[in-house]
Amino acid sequence: EDLMSKAQSRGCVVPRQLAMYFCRHQLKMPFIKIGEVFARDHSTVMSSIKQIQKAIDGEKGDVIAPWKAIAKKLGSVVA
């Protein structure tokens, strides 16, 4: 429910962005479709995915730990 809401608190934003990231990278969904699922514009989706990728590349702790945990559960290869 919180992932789909318009909430902009960090507790909702980062999990939503991670969900968008995994929709794109694991399910290969187009930006427009992800936007439809999360009731967001495709440019918001693109920005969210870019922010998560930047956090992963920078090994930002508040993103990298949940990203690795989710990727492990999904059976993804985590570098």
6-51 tens-digit pLDDT: 777 778 899 999 999 999 999 999 999 999 999 999 999 999 999 9
Q: ∠ at Cα 3 (62, 29), nearest 5°?
A: 90
Q: What is the pTM of this model?
A: 0.85
Q: CB under 8 Å to 55, separation ≥6 — which residues?
A: 62, 63, 64, 67
Residue whose entry in the numeric block shows the structure tokens 């590349």: 57
Dist CA 2 CA 72 (whole Å): 23
